[in-house]
């Protein structure tokens, strides 16, 4: 059986998500909001604020998890 060579390139998460043209954050930033009413803009802000809080909660959980793991291995 012939050997097959495969090149594996490690990618950083920022490289995977930040530069993708179909990234939801990039799409959101590019959206035209000129036609939105004040109520629609307020609803958008509310939804984005909720998403920011969800991200902050996830970050805090990751930091806590990492700190717990590091304290276990330092013993």
pLDDT in tens, 7-65: 555 555 555 555 677 888 888 989 999 999 999 999 999 999 999 999 999 999 999 99
Q: Give the model's pLDDT for residue 22.
A: 82
- State how far the Cα of 75 lies from the Cα of 64, in Å rounded to an integer: 17
Q: Which two tokens stand for residue 49?
A: 């604020």
Q: Note whether 23 and 17 are within 8 A (CB).
A: yes
pLDDT at 25 (0 to 100): 87
* Contact present, 43 and 36 (Cβ < 8 Å): no
The model's pTM:
0.60
Helix/strand/coil for 16 = helix
Alpha helices, H only, 18-37: 24-30
């Amino acid at each position: 059986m012939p050997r097959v060579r495969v090149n594996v390139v490690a990618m950083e998460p920022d490289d995977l998500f930040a530069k993708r043209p179909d990234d939801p954050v990039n799409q959101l930033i590019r959206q035209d909001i000129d036609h939105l009413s004040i109520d629609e803009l307020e609803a958008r802000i509310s939804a984005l604020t909720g998403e920011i809080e969800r991200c902050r909660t996830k970050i805090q959980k990751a930091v806590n998890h990492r700190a717990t793991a590091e304290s276990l291995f330092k013993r």
